[in-house]
Structure 1
Amino acid sequence: MLTKIRAALPNAVCLVVDDDSPDGTAEIARRYAEESGASDSVLVKIRKDERGLGGAIRAAMQTAIDGKYDLFCNMDADLSHDPTDLPRLVSTCLKENADVVVGSRYIEGGAIVGWPWRRKVMSGLINGFTRKMLRLPVRDASGSYRCYRVGCLAGLDPPRNPSDGYAFIQEVLLRLHRDGAKCVEVPITFTERVHGTSKLNFREAIRSSLTVFRLLAAR
């Protein structure tokens, strides 16, 4: 994944956020950085005693804000998101003066490959429910392949009760939209991972739905 990202965006800095996983992810990333001579452009951040996709993305965003970067791209680390799509997200953000560009599975040209029908139904229901209830201006409100302007992220007020799970993906989009951010979508093909298992399950789906109601109540 790191090799593909660096080939797609040679000038980018890659940040791997690891929740102190016992599978050796952090060490593999560090070894890659050393052996490829990329210690300055491949960074590893380990979160101790913390778990959750939302918290990991927030930590990465804060690193981008503190480092005064221009753009922040977020993607899954299992190659479900194709790194060769990164230049399209970045160029769209720049050309259309967008504040957030969403890699979308649910617009024309987008697709999902390799998911069982139950997973597709669950994702579609969560996405549709969230998008309509929160009136978000995109078709894919639950996908995490995105490019943000760091200045817009820095301008957001800190959330009182931030989501640590998948719901953060919808939460940050809602907060940006409420601040008047320009949101654009580009089609991507999401491909099911070859190894490992997804953490999106029925319990996480319920948590995400409850978070939608919390966000509605906070309006």
Structure 2
Amino acid sequence: MSNSSPSASDASPPDALVIVPTYNEADNIGPVIDQVLTQSPPIDVLVVDDNSADGTADVVRSRKADAPDRVHLIERSGKLGLGTAYLRGFRYALARDYTYICEMDADLSHDPSDLPSLLAPVQNGEVDLAIGSRYVEGVRVINWPLSRLVLSYSAGIYTRAITRLPLLDVTAGFKCFHRRVLESLPLDHVNSDGYAFQVEMHYRTWRAGFRFKEVPVVFTERTEGESKMRREIVVEAALKVWELRLQDLLGRL
């Protein structure tokens, strides 16, 4: 797809897609979609909904009715997890020839106006993956309790110590991939969820030799809905780094 757009009437469709997994995000997903669609260069939206009980999918369908070529929806049968939602989204994007494939949370903790800053270094060929970082150029988190900030920052130290991954925000979920990264990685072998999924994707991208950089963004804690943070998500991530490192050492990554 081309970025050139001589006029509104013959403009090429967007070659960028942002994937937004949802579970009970009816209060947030409408504003998220609205804000994404106003960005320049244009970015399409794919919502992967895990059978939300609060009408999230209905909100997406209402936006899709207004922008059928820009808003896309995959409805799944149940709460199947963040990792599998993103993998489903990746395959959707690759099958439809999107060049730039982004991840973003549905709760407005990630500001859609930061998407162009993530797209730019990938589009200009500087890197293959741009990561929206809460910790590059200082701590950029709003409304987190100190305990959660300490946990998140400590997770980075722990992960880097074990894996040597040269990344400050190891669990960042706001990013933009060039499609060549996702085409090259063994997505069928990615089996983690939550924070562990983000760590695994970063680690596999790095070990595959792709270029990446952290782009400073501000992370704002959600104001609507409930956090999906659970103890088992933290435990999974803590164990996953050892698994990744061992697989790498054994040549099985």
Q: TM-score range by the shorter chain?
A: over 0.9
What 5-or-longer segments of structure 2 have no aligned partner? Answer: 1-31, 249-253
2:244 to 211, 215, 219: 215
- State the shift of 1:33 in Å: 1.7
- State the shift of 1:50 in Å: 4.7
Whole-angstrom distance in 2 between the partners of 1:103 and 1:110: 12
Contact 1:16/1:44 (CA < 8 Å) preserved in 2? yes
Which has the greater radius of gyration?
2
Whole-angstrom distance in 1 between the partners of 2:232 and 2:106: 22
Whole-angstrom distance in 2 between the partners of 1:29 and 1:20: 13
Contact 2:131/2:214 (CA < 8 Å) preserved in 1? yes
Amino-acid identity (%): 37
TM-score scaled to structure 2, two decimals? 0.81
- State the shift of 1:64 in Å: 1.0
**Residue 214 (structure 2) pairs with residue 185 (structure 1):** yes
- State the shift of 1:10 in Å: 5.6
- State the shift of 1:11 in Å: 2.5
Whole-angstrom distance in 2 between the partners of 1:143 and 1:4: 21
- State the shift of 1:127 in Å: 2.3
Whole-angstrom distance in 2 between the partners of 1:14 and 1:135: 34
Whole-angstrom distance in 1 between the partners of 2:139 and 2:150: 16
> 1:75/1:10 Cα in 2 relative to 1: closer, same or farther (>3 Å)?
same
> 1:110/1:39 Cα in 2 relative to 1: closer, same or farther (>3 Å)?
farther
- Structure 2 counterparts to residues 149-188 of structure 1, below 5 A: 149-160=178-189, 162-188=191-217
- Bigger drift between 176-185 and 47-56 goes to 47-56
Contact 2:109/2:219 (CA < 8 Å) preserved in 1? yes
1:86 to 115, 119, 122: 115
What is the match of residue 139 of structure 1? 168
Whole-angstrom distance in 2 between the partners of 1:106 and 1:113: 12
**Residue 163 (structure 2) pairs with residue 122 (structure 1):** no
- Compute the RMSD of aligned alpha carbons: 1.5
> 1:96/1:158 Cα in 2 relative to 1: closer, same or farther (>3 Å)?
closer
- State the shift of 1:42 in Å: 0.3
**Residue 44 (structure 2) pairs with residue 4 (structure 1):** no
- State the shift of 1:5 in Å: 0.6
What 5-or-longer segments of structure 1 have no aligned partner? Answer: none
Whole-angstrom distance in 1 between the partners of 2:174 and 2:129: 11
Whole-angstrom distance in 2 between the partners of 1:96 and 1:185: 15
TM-score scaled to structure 1, two decimals? 0.93
Q: Deviations over 1:140-191 (max 9, x none)?
A: 1111000000121011123436113321101011111111000111100000
- State the shift of 1:136 in Å: 1.4
What is the match of residue 24 of structure 1? 55
Whole-angstrom distance in 2 between the partners of 1:95 and 1:194: 35
Contact 2:130/2:214 (CA < 8 Å) preserved in 1? yes
Contact 1:110/1:187 (CA < 8 Å) preserved in 2? no
Whole-angstrom distance in 1 between the partners of 2:246 and 2:129: 24
Secondary structure of the structure 2 residue equivalent to 1:115: coil
Whole-angstrom distance in 1 between the partners of 2:97 and 2:70: 15
What is the match of residue 64 of structure 2? 33
Whole-angstrom distance in 2 between the partners of 1:110 and 1:100: 21
The number of residues matched between the two structures is: 217
**Residue 232 (structure 2) pairs with residue 203 (structure 1):** yes
Whole-angstrom distance in 2 between the partners of 1:78 and 1:55: 19
- Structure 2 counterparts to residues 72-111 of structure 1, below 5 A: 72-108=101-137, 111=140
What is the match of residue 14 of structure 1? 45
